[in-house]
Amino acid sequence: MGFKKSQKLYEKGLVNLVGAVNSPVRAFTSVGGNPLFIKRGRGSQIIDVDGNKYVDLVLSYGPMILGHRHKKVQKAVHKALKNGYSFGASTENEITLAKIVCDAFPGMDKVRFVNSGTEAVLSGVRLARAYTGKDKIIKFSGCYHGHQDSLLVAAGSGLATLSIPGSKGVPKEAVKNTLIATYNDLDSVKKHFEEHSDIAGVIIEPVGGNMGVVIPQNGFLKELKDFLHTKGALLIADEVMTGFRSKFGGAQELLGAEADITCLGKVIGGGFPVGAYGARNEIMECVAPLGGMYQAGTLSGNPIAMAGGISTLKELKRQNPYEKFSHIGERIETILLHAGKKYNVDVTVNRFGSMMNPFFTKVAVTNFAQAQTSDTSKFAIFFWEMIKNGVFLPPSQFEAWFLSSAISEEDISKIENAVDKSFQKIQESQ
């Protein structure tokens, strides 16, 4: 398997693109080597510019839940393109998709479409502050909520305890109202409420996806919601990654907690740039033009993205692949654990719905600090061996893998073969 054309494109891209990429994780910094350039995809697979074919477990970090270029989505998008690309005015499909989304989330009466997950989250946080009249927001170390200033702290980085900006260019003042708690530790949340009286709410990924897959333990999400209710604070669920990934709706429902504000992205556009935030009427009526919280976007509710989202969600509901996802996820987990035992490599596997990933550690991973015990040098070896054996993974230990409904028995066999060879390579390096 060669990567000569990807190498040439990388070198060419360095001239006019920052690091030859448009998102840092694509740069392969944590695994070494240069990024791969993808040419096309179909179903469960993608092909790079060198002609190498991969089972895709990245799936654009979640939204390609039906696989690439699903025929019904393709047809809907082509039809929408014939009418125009963007109008800066309302279209009927915005209403259609809004109803599909609101019907899928108990407690969501209204939704506002935006253009990205980052925009959805920053708007959701602003809404929580507008509704409560309070300023401070609690987030959890290891949870990533987009690149907005106020939440770019302890965001899947090493800045796990203090409100120190996680990026140059973010002033300390921007994160002064951001408090950091430990995932799966309700006491760390309660401590902040003991020390501060102006907390508007808590934002959380119902299932962590940016420190690897980390699952709430022992009713943590429900207990968090119940506690916040006693304090008059809101629960903001960032379901940009988890939305429609474990059921038709949100992971929050499976975990026994109804969020006050839900932020969505990725999958509700079928692969096109889209995001959304929604809540019950009394909260959403704070948003302009009904209320005083201003948020706007010329391309919000873009007709092409709406068409992609409607067709994706309708087909997803028809397929109802969630039992299949659970079964396949369990099989891949068994494959990983078996390989670890066979080659004497420490590995822990976390999975929820159609999201999963291994950690190269012997400890159970329930928070960011435990995720950081994973041996990232072993992951780098694992990553490249998986690539060389035809399986495309996120180039970071701390990113979730995703399943599509297009995955086949042949794909699973290919994954099993690649895992075996990858763990063998790790053993040889020990």
Does residue 327 carry a pLDDT above 50? yes
**Predicted pLDDT at 25:** 85
Name which of 67, 72, 71, 70 is nearest 57 in CA terms. Answer: 67
What's the pTM? Answer: 0.93
Of 238, 260, 375, 411, which one is the catalytic site residue?
238
Does residue 163 carry a pLDDT above 60? no
Of 134, 136, 225, 266, which one is the catalytic site residue?
266
- CA–CA separation, 383 and 366 (whole Å): 23
**Predicted pLDDT at 288:** 97
* Architecture in CATH of 71-319: 3-Layer(aba) Sandwich (3.40)
Residue type for position 166? G
**What average pLDDT does the segment 34-63 reach?**
97
SS3 357: strand
Which residues in the chain are classed under CATH 3.40.640.10? 71-319
Active-site residue flag, 144: yes
pLDDT band at 159 (very low <50, low <70, confident <90, very high): very low
Active-site residue flag, 266: yes
How far is residue 274 CA from its own chain's centroid?
Answer: 13
Of 10, 61, 144, 183, which one is the catalytic site residue?
144
- Tokens describing residue 367: 């928070």
- CA–CA separation, 259 and 251 (whole Å): 10
Please give the share of the chain, as a percent, with pLDDT higher than 70. Answer: 96
Does domain 4-65+321-429 bear CATH number 3.90.1150.10?
yes
Mean pLDDT of the chain: 94
- CA–CA separation, 403 and 396 (whole Å): 17
pLDDT band at 377 (very low <50, low <70, confident <90, very high): very high
**Predicted pLDDT at 285:** 98
**Predicted pLDDT at 164:** 46
